[in-house]
Amino acid sequence: EAGVVQSPRYKIIEKKQPVAFWCNPISGHNTLYWYLQNLGQGPELLIRYENEEAVDDSQLPKDRFSAERLKGVDSTLKIQPAELGDSAVYLCASSITTDTGELFFGEGSRLTVL
Amino acid sequence: SQKIEQNSEALNIQEGKTATLTCNYTNYSPAYLQWYRQDPGRGPVFLLLIRENEKEKRKERLKVTFDTTLKQSLFHITASQPADSATYLCALETGTASKLTFGTGTRLQVTL
């Protein structure tokens, strides 16, 4: 069974440029998460979807970040314009909605903003 | 303020010994706690879950304890092997509908 698939794995852009990350969750997982992970830190939640609905986006910087999950499957996370401080790993995870919420993570997309 | 603390310094132990990692938290009342393993350049991988009404959970060489009075979880790896070298993250249920908040992680290095 395929795991969570993310692309691209690596992206280098100049500041003020836009960037987008794509995530394909495990089939049948209706909950999808985007996390940000800085070097030496734990993942920090940006947004969580239940099917198509964003149920927790309180930590998403909405002035420059946006996300969507059309048809309740794949998701994209966009940053426009990117800033130097956005350099980090962006992790996508999915889970079956249960009361314990074990997460399955993708390999992440490493963003470097120059 | 709410905090989840893991030892930021790396833990170095010899092969065959028991590694013990600590996760302390303040101002949370989690219904459960999870532990994940993360290798460099990879996403975290789920290891174990323990609920608030459970004192201890085991899986092969792994053992987790959960003390809601001390607000602490301990993660043990017995008979450590170099392949156990990784960063270990604790994650607490911290809100409605299974919201997970992660600690900063502790890097474990097992040497021969």
Q: Do A100 and B98 touch (CB under 8 A)?
A: yes
Distance from CA of A83 to the nearest CA of B (A): 22
The partner residues of B74 in beta bridges, in order of sequence, read B22, B65
Find the length of chain B.
Answer: 112
Answer for the pair B50, B95: CB distance below 8 angstroms, yes or no: no
Q: Do A42 and B104 touch (CB under 8 A)?
A: yes
What distance in Å separates the CA atoms of residue B108 and residue A54, rounded to the nearest whole number? 35
Mean pLDDT over the full length of chain A: 94
pLDDT at B35: 97
**Residues in B touching A108 (Cβ below 8 Å):** 41-43
CA-based nearest residue in chain B for residue A99: B98
pLDDT over 90 for what percent of chain B? 82
**Residues in B touching A106 (Cβ below 8 Å):** 43
**Residues in B touching A99 (Cβ below 8 Å):** 31, 98
Q: Do A102 and B105 touch (CB under 8 A)?
A: no
pLDDT at A96: 86
Query: Where does the pLDDT of residue A66 fall: very low under 50, low under 70, confident under 90, or very high at 90 and above?
Result: very high
Query: Where does the pLDDT of residue A71 fall: very low under 50, low under 70, confident under 90, or very high at 90 and above?
Result: confident
Question: B93 is written with which tokens?
Answer: 């249920």
What distance in Å separates the CA atoms of residue A76 and residue A24, rounded to the nearest whole number? 9
pLDDT at A83: 97
What DSSP element (H or E) covers A49? Answer: strand A44-50
- Does residue B77 carry a pLDDT above 90? yes
How many inter-chain contacts (A to B, CB under 8 Å) are there? Answer: 65
pLDDT at B32: 92
pLDDT at A70: 83
